[in-house]
Amino acid sequence: MFSNSPNIYSIKAACAEGFSELNAFDVALLKSGVGNTNLVKMSSILPPQCKKKDSIILPPGDLVPVAYAAVTSSVKNELISAAVAIAIPKDKTKNGLIMEYEDKNITKEEAESHVIEMAKWGMEYRNYEIEKIESIAVSHIVKNHGAVFACVVLWWE
């Protein structure tokens, strides 16, 4: 499908309310900068030497590789949370590892702590020494129809 691995990434998170759960999810995608693209959910590998960007301008309608966690709910006052973490190896010839986590009735801090531990465990299992872990999390208390979305977007520079 693609001739080479993506070489840039961005990490984002957002929450939203909407007319329906799907509308709330759509708004969370828009707030995260991926709402006008076709997301291709991928497994959780960050290509070696991929560089972080604060934001990536994505062509409307393109297929976009993304690792993400998301929750929608229509239960009033329900707490929903999503988080992603990226473990970056010290050895720049090795790939990084992206982990995603979402749940209901947990805080943003609990989701983020859990996803960080997942990333650490995955790197330990690979025998990769970690240089750093980047993470982001979001929580939302549902009013009518809510969504949370946390993602790592991969792209080409």
CA distance 72 to 75: 9
CA distance 69 to 100: 5
Helix (H) / strand (E) element for 31: namely helix 21-32
Catalytic residue among 3, 4, 43, 77: 43
Active site residue 7: no
* 62 class by beta-carbon count within 10 Å (0-12 exposed, 13-18 middle, 19+ buried): exposed
Widest pairwise Cα distance in the chain = 47
Catalytic residue among 20, 38, 55, 105: 38
Catalytic residue among 44, 73, 81, 95: 44
Active site residue 44: yes
Active site residue 43: yes
Catalytic residue among 32, 73, 81, 100: 100
Active site residue 100: yes
How far CA 12 is from CA of 97, 102, 155, in Å, comes to: 16, 14, 14
- Written as one letter, the residue type at 99 is M
Residues that are catalytic: 38, 43-44, 100
